Chain A
Amino acid sequence: MIENYYGFENGISGKDLYNTGIKQAQNLGIEVKNEEVIKIEIQDKNTFSIKTVENEYTSKVVILATGNKKNTPKNIGIEKYEGKGVSYCAICDGFFYRNKSVSVLGSGEYAISETNDLINIAKDITILTNGEKAPEFRADNVKIDTREIQEIKGDTKVEGVQFKDGNTLETEGVFIAQGVAGSTEFAKKLGALTNKDTIIVNEKQETNIKGLYACGDCTGGLLQVSKSVYEGTIAGLEAIKYIKEGFEK
Chain B
Amino acid sequence: MNVLNVTSENYESEVLKSEKTVLIDFYADWCGPCKMMSPVIDEIAEEMKETVKVGKINVDENQDLAMEYGVMSIPTIVVLKNGEVQKTFVGVTDKEEIKQALNN
Residues of A with Cβ closer than 8 Å to B? 41-42, 82-85, 87, 89, 92-93, 95-97, 156-157, 173, 188-194, 200, 208-209
Contact = CB atoms under 8 A, between A and B. Distances in A.
Contact of B36 (A87, A97, A156, A192): A192
Given A83-B91, A95-B28, A95-B59, A189 B33 contact: yes
Interface in B29-45: 31-37
A190 B32 CA distance: 6
B92 A93 contact: no
B33 A83 contact: no
30 contacts: A82-B73, A83-B73, A83-B88, A83-B90, A84-B72, A85-B72, A89-B33, A89-B73, A92-B31, A92-B32, A93-B72, A93-B74, A95-B28, A95-B59, A96-B66, A96-B72, A156-B70, A173-B72, A188-B91, A189-B32, A189-B33, A190-B33, A191-B35, A191-B36, A192-B36, A192-B92, A193-B93, A193-B94, A200-B94, A209-B36
Contacts, number: 64
Q: Which of A93, A95, A156 has the most CB of B within 10 A?
A: A95
Contacts of A192: 36, 92
A95 B73 CA distance: 9
Contact of A194 (B32, B37, B73, B92): B92
Going nearest first, the 9 A-B pairs with the smallest beta carbon separation are A191-B36, A83-B90, A191-B33, A96-B72, A83-B73, A93-B73, A191-B92, A191-B32, A87-B73
B71 interface: yes
A189 B75 CA distance: 11
Contacts of B92: 188, 191-194, 208
A184 to B, nearest CB: 12
Contact of B72 (A87, A190, A193, A200): A87
Contact of A92 (B70, B74, B88, B93): B74
B21 interface: no
Contacts of B72: 83-85, 87, 93, 96-97, 157, 173
Interface string B80-104: 0000000010111110000000000
In terms of DSSP, what is the predominant structure of the interface of chain B?
Answer: loop
Contacts of B60: 95
Nearest to B35: A191
A189 B73 CA distance: 12
Contacts of A157: 70, 72
Q: Which of A82, A84, A189, A191 has the most CB of B within 10 A?
A: A191
B94 to A, nearest CB: 6
Given A84-B72, A188-B92, A191-B37, 14 more contacts: A41-B32, A83-B76, A83-B91, A84-B70, A87-B72, A92-B74, A93-B73, A96-B66, A173-B72, A188-B33, A190-B36, A191-B33, A191-B35, A194-B91
